[in-house]
Structure 1
Amino acid sequence: MIETELLKQLIEFRRERDWEQFHNPKDVAISLSIEASELLEWFQWKTAEQVQQRLASEKREELEDEIADVAVYLAYLCHDLNIDLNQAIKNKMQKNAAKYPRDKVKGRNDKYDEYS
């Protein structure tokens, strides 16, 4: 999902700073979770109207930065574990299609083990 050239830039950025030594899969996964939590903070305690107002303000850049942080750590994790993110998503979509048949779940928000 991240362009090949951009991924190369991310890897080079990390290499130039000698950060690979800190980026074991466990710690990158932890960092990914932390950044995802920071993304959630952008929405915390906001109404839908407040979110729309923030999206139209200078606060939008903060949201974009948090989304970028999540994407960077996910890119590092996939790179380091040799996971093709596009293929992983395709595989998961196939599993979801079987788990959530359209005719049973369309318009419903039940968990997969709650619908009949």
Structure 2
Amino acid sequence: MSDFKEIIDSLKKFRDERDWEQFHNPKDLSLAISIEASELLELFLWKKAEDANIEKIKDELADVFSFAFLLADKYNLDIKDIVLNKINQNALKYPVAKSKGTAKKYNEL
């Protein structure tokens, strides 16, 4: 958890030095995640995945993570806990015996 705390503390320091917390409400952080995810998608538009620029991918992915971490912090969520819980939920929805090797959604298995 210390790595996440270090990242979140650095993000908040950067934000607070610029007086941007006023813009970082849950709605706008959620919108920012979606917008940055779209910018990440744009890097793959009309090209093969292997032709995408890895440096730009890193930048856009960092933006997605940054806003997601700030949103989690806004609600006092433990990132490790919520991700591991979601993995456990998905394990129940997608048991290996039914889902291995298929991209079908859990209600189509």
Q: Matched residue of 1:107: which SS?
A: coil
**1:9 maps to what in 2?**
10
**2:72 maps to what in 1?**
78
The size of the alignment, in residue pairs, is 108
Output the CA distance in 2 between the equivalents of 1:3 and 1:95: 22
Which structure 2 residues correspond to residues 1-116 of structure 1 after superposition, within 5 A?
A: 2-47=3-48, 51-54=49-52, 59-115=53-109
Output the CA distance in 1 between the equivalents of 2:5 and 2:26: 21
Q: Deviations over 1:31-59 (max 9, x none)?
A: 11000000000001112xxx3244xxxx3
Output the CA distance in 1 between the equivalents of 2:8 and 2:63: 13
Give me the TM-score of the superposition, normalised by structure 2: 0.91
Instruction: Output the amino acid matched with 2:42.
Output: E
Give me the TM-score of the superposition, normalised by structure 1: 0.86
Output the CA distance in 1 between the equivalents of 2:16 and 2:23: 11
The higher radius of gyration belongs to: 1
RMSD over equivalenced CA pairs, Å: 1.4
In structure 2, runs of 5+ residues without a counterpart are: none
Residue identity (%):
47
- TM superposition shift of 1:4: 2.1
Q: Matched residue of 2:108: which SS?
A: coil
